[in-house]
A and B are shown apart, each in its own frame.
Chain A
């Protein structure tokens, strides 16, 4: 591998991560398609590089949320029992699934992301359909977070935990299989079942991503999916991009980026689905 390739990887990851960061998305969802479609990298080494960058982005952005007491660390560890178990299943499947299937699943996840990006996310904790009963909050999972806009602590409850755990298992599985943070599956899990305030679910989901990814990254490192020069450039680019992305988060009109994102996601989904039917069809399991 030459210096040019490393620079290309660094720049592409920086761009993907900065763009993703502006809408609160992980970079992983762009890195694998870009590396495979434009860089012609093998999908497994793309996934290996991506999973490490997912860990890096989650770790590098966790601190402000923790200090702002938005992250519910107790809830995170409980949900992580499900996400890591899912990741373990993903690692087992990853060794046997043909590359064409990975392209196909990735395409579907991209379409799902596009659909989510179009739908406006409403704060489930404020939804009137879920009247809070007068039950005292006795469980240690329930907590409160300081709301800057209102200037006081907002208490919240964790609803429908078993259902949430099942969805988290699926999110962990997809995360390991595709090398993404799979926020696209965690968001509905948090919104429709646990019904947390958006700020809490974003912070907690981001906090969980690194541990979920570590469960599969260890296996991929040992298996040799993580190729040092590729992964190194991608990881460094993503970390720098995430920092830049967080800076511009508020300064550009969100609706316009949102639309741009939908177009990009659909285009990448089409490419990945095409690749699923064309490439690697006859390359057996790894």
Chain B
């Protein structure tokens, strides 16, 4: 194919500049030699501004997520893999099979091409491992000082199989609440790589695509009521959202919630509550009590659900509160966050 540019990008030393976003030869070269090279698939190779594909009849799902994380690279992942996993997860929390992704990049002038390539390679791997291709995208560059290095927005589409109706307002009193694994890993792994909170830990982000786990679960129990991944704001925030949507209350058992000792230690050091720390590879499942044991067993056969546990139940509550029996024997309310959770000294 004839190319409008010649030569190779100097990825090792080169920097993103304004011409990479202006639609001309430089942008074509960037797209070809970084994005197309690593995402490489048949639909992308058509070089259109959009990608056309057939879907089986069914309800379609679309979801979008913008990723602005800092630092860009953290133990267990980076902004690239996160942007793939995050959107796949949002799509499959409806029970849908994710089909394709789009990716829009906003880069700051001066952003090293070597880091861009590292991120794109990571995204491509995450996408291939998940079996969900990136088939279209966009590239923009903003002036230095107007962006945080790079922002990535991914949009995903999927199709929900017949008979599945998973939605946040379906939780009912008597339902069981299941978490797929330990909480707080992602948030604390990211914090550990922020400069002025530095602490050493082997904690890794749990960033992962959950669609294969979800598929196993819906095969065992098509009648799952709710699925959601507790990302920003943690388990507490997501449960409060669901309680509000479904007009119910929840009662949790603190002792049942899986959490790694290193997450406990890091939270204690900084005065953070692990219930509010972000997760990127976990899901909450709310189901009929009769289905709980079978679902739990199915989840535990999957690598991403090995430590799945029943952590509470849904109750009637006109105040829509999430409450928790503490491991100490008392009880407390697990409230919404006012804003971002901040470390405390007092």
B is bound to A: no
Chain B interfacial positions (CB closer than 8 Å to A): none
CB within 8 Å of B: which residues of A?
Answer: none
